[in-house]
Amino acid sequence: MNTHITRRETLKLLAAGAAGLAVPGVPVFGAMRERVEYRRLGRTNLDVSVVGFGSLSIGLASTEQQRVTQLLNRALDGGLNMIDTAECYGHPDKNHSETLIGNAIGSRRDEYVLCSKVGHENGHFGQGADWSSASIHRTIDRSLKRLKTDHLDIVHLHGCTVEVLRAGEVTEALKQARQAGKISFLGYSGSGERVRYAIETDDFDVVQLTLNVFEQNAIDDLLPLTQERDIGVIAKRPIGNAVWRFAERPEWGWYAEYWDLIAPLNFPFFKGDALADPGAQGAGGMALRFVTSTPGLHTAIVGTTSPGRWTQNNGNVAAGLLSAEQYQAIRTSWRALPRKKRELA
Ligand SMILES: NC(=O)c1ccc[n+]([C@@H]2O[C@H](COP(=O)([O-])OP(=O)(O)OC[C@H]3O[C@@H](n4cnc5c(N)ncnc54)[C@H](OP(=O)(O)O)[C@@H]3O)[C@@H](O)[C@H]2O)c1
């Protein structure tokens, strides 16, 4: 098994590229690479690409292996080094996201930070919760196998309640897995008060929370706490599922909730030509740059089934942070929403 120091050194070398030293917050140019910004993921000291990869989409769509292999290898070649997956992203009998990732890039394991989640051993897409220690250990072992690796950098508890956290069995199970060398860092993935509680236990090195132009609560409620404690922060659903693409109101869950906010938020980049603009000033570029411009945010794990999407999003983010005026205008529009609409998470 690789030692932790060797892996960290490898990731730092990758971040440095051919051009010189990687400084968190400063884009790096590499001979074979895109212009990529890496940020230190809090107390983990891992340097992660600010645009990561979320694998919910490939699991939902049971995307074919060849497409995922192309997508991930191209992104790794460009400088992506943050990969997020979960025990339940995919149907066990179809192309499960963990299996797709393992087959695609398991042979390049030293080039990326790998996160998975536990808590739904027998389910898919959030069903079948089991928070027993035995289930968590079985799930980690299964993930290692599917992902073709002997260790995971971060394992998140996948949205358990405060009561489950308080009982302690889940956290203890993760600590045992860390002790056994199967995982390096503990994470909690969820929303709102649950994330706050997880932060306050100080057991977790990383949290994965919802942050996008539609859901901004974390900025005031959680990020001051993570910064105080030097906890790594991963934004899930960072591009708001790109709901501006839909001409009709989508029927599904938070897609519909986000879609309903487009009109009241009245962002200029969700109108007219900006809707079809794939660049940094377009809908996707502005939405993602809002997240990456948020202080305390380290990586945004954008979901995609499209080879080339990571390069597009990374390029948009490399165009630079939003100006203070642009950022505040997005905050002000969101704050003007009725309270109930601001409490999605
Ligand atoms: N822990 C949890 O409970 C939880 C919950 C939800 C998500 N997550 C994690 O967060 C990740 C991201 O969330 P998500 O996948 O639900 O949502 P997301 O990243 O906000 O949106 C993904 C969607 O946006 C599209 N997209 C990406 N970039 C675009 C661009 N520049 N222009 C237009 N469309 C673009 C993708 O389509 P294409 O396929 O065409 O690129 C995909 O359909 C997940 O994959 C998962 O890893 C965790």
302 in contact with ligand 1, CB cutoff 6 A: yes
How far apart are the CA of 6 and the centre of ligand 1, in A? 31
Q: What is the per-residue pLDDT across 277-336, written as a single tens digit (0 to 9) for each?
A: 999 999 999 999 999 999 999 999 999 999 999 999 999 999 999 999 999 999 999 999
Mutate to test the pocket of ligand 1, among 309, 312, 313, 316 (most ligand atoms within 8 A of CB): 309
How far apart are the CA of 55 and the centre of ligand 1, in A? 8
39 in contact with ligand 1, CB cutoff 6 A: no
| pLDDT higher than 70, residue 15 | no
- Closest Cα to atom 38 of ligand 1: 304
pLDDT at 252: 81
- List of long-range contacts for 100-103, beta carbons under 8 Å, 24+ apart: 100/55, 100/58, 100/59, 100/63, 100/65, 100/68, 101/55, 101/68, 101/72, 101/146, 101/147, 102/146, 102/147, 102/148, 102/149, 103/65, 103/68, 103/69, 103/148
pLDDT at 12: 39
How far apart are the CA of 30 and the centre of ligand 1, in A? 27
- List of long-range contacts for 168-175, beta carbons under 8 Å, 24+ apart: 169/131, 169/132, 169/133, 170/118, 170/119, 170/131, 170/133, 170/136, 171/201, 171/203, 172/133, 173/133, 173/136, 173/137, 174/118, 174/136, 175/203
- Closest Cα to atom 35 of ligand 1: 242
Chain CA centroid to CA 283, Å: 20
Q: What is the per-residue pLDDT across 252-271, written as a single tens digit (0 to 9) for each?
A: 888 999 999 999 999 999 99
pLDDT at 11: 36
Share of the chain above pLDDT 70, in %: 90
How far apart are the CA of 242 and the centre of ligand 1, in A? 8
Which amino acid is present at 173? A
291 in contact with ligand 1, CB cutoff 6 A: no
201 in contact with ligand 1, CB cutoff 6 A: no
The span from the CA of 299 to the CA of 48, in Å, is: 7
| pLDDT higher than 70, residue 13 | no
The span from the CA of 306 to the CA of 207, in Å, is: 26
How far apart are the CA of 53 and the centre of ligand 1, in A? 9
Chain CA centroid to CA 272, Å: 29
Structure tokens at 20: 């010189």
How far apart are the CA of 237 and the centre of ligand 1, in A? 5
Please compute Rg for the chain using Cα positions: 19
Q: Domains in the chain and their CATH numbers?
A: 42-335 (3.20.20.100)
84 in contact with ligand 1, CB cutoff 6 A: yes
pLDDT band with cut points at 50, 70 and 90 for residue 33: low
The span from the CA of 186 to the CA of 51, in Å, is: 21
Share of the chain above pLDDT 90, in %: 83
pLDDT at 317: 98
What would the mean pLDDT of 81-102 be, rounded to a whole number? Answer: 94
What would the mean pLDDT of 239-255 be, rounded to a whole number? Answer: 93
CB 78 within 8 A of CB 33: yes
pLDDT band with cut points at 50, 70 and 90 for residue 23: very low
- Closest Cα to atom 21 of ligand 1: 241
- Mean pLDDT of all residues belonging to the chain: 90
pLDDT band with cut points at 50, 70 and 90 for residue 66: very high
Structure tokens at 301: 């794990």
**Among residues 173, 175, 181, 171, which one has the least CA distance to residue 149?**
181
Give, to the nearest 10 degrees, the angle between helix 283-292 and helix 324-335: 90
242 in contact with ligand 1, CB cutoff 6 A: yes
Mutate to test the pocket of ligand 1, among 63, 207, 237, 298 (most ligand atoms within 8 A of CB): 237
Structure tokens at 186: 């503990």
- Closest Cα to atom 23 of ligand 1: 241
Least confident of 10-19, 68-77, 168-177, 329-338: 10-19
3-state class (DSSP) for residue 80:
coil
Q: What is the per-residue pLDDT across 121-163, written as a single tens digit (0 to 9) for each?
A: 887 777 789 999 999 999 999 999 999 999 999 999 999 999 9
3-state class (DSSP) for residue 118:
strand
pLDDT at 128: 83
Query: Which of 36-55 are b and which e, b meaning 16 or more Cβ less than 10 Å from the residue's Cβ?
Result: bbbbbbbebebbbbbbbbbb
pLDDT band with cut points at 50, 70 and 90 for residue 92: confident
Q: What is the DSSP string of 202-222?
A: T--SEEEEE-SSS--HHHHHT
The span from the CA of 83 to the CA of 274, in Å, is: 29
159 in contact with ligand 1, CB cutoff 6 A: yes
Q: What is the per-residue pLDDT across 186-204, written as a single tens digit (0 to 9) for each?
A: 999 999 999 999 999 999 9
pLDDT band with cut points at 50, 70 and 90 for residue 230: very high
208 in contact with ligand 1, CB cutoff 6 A: yes
Q: How far is it between the farthest Cα atoms of the chain? A: 54
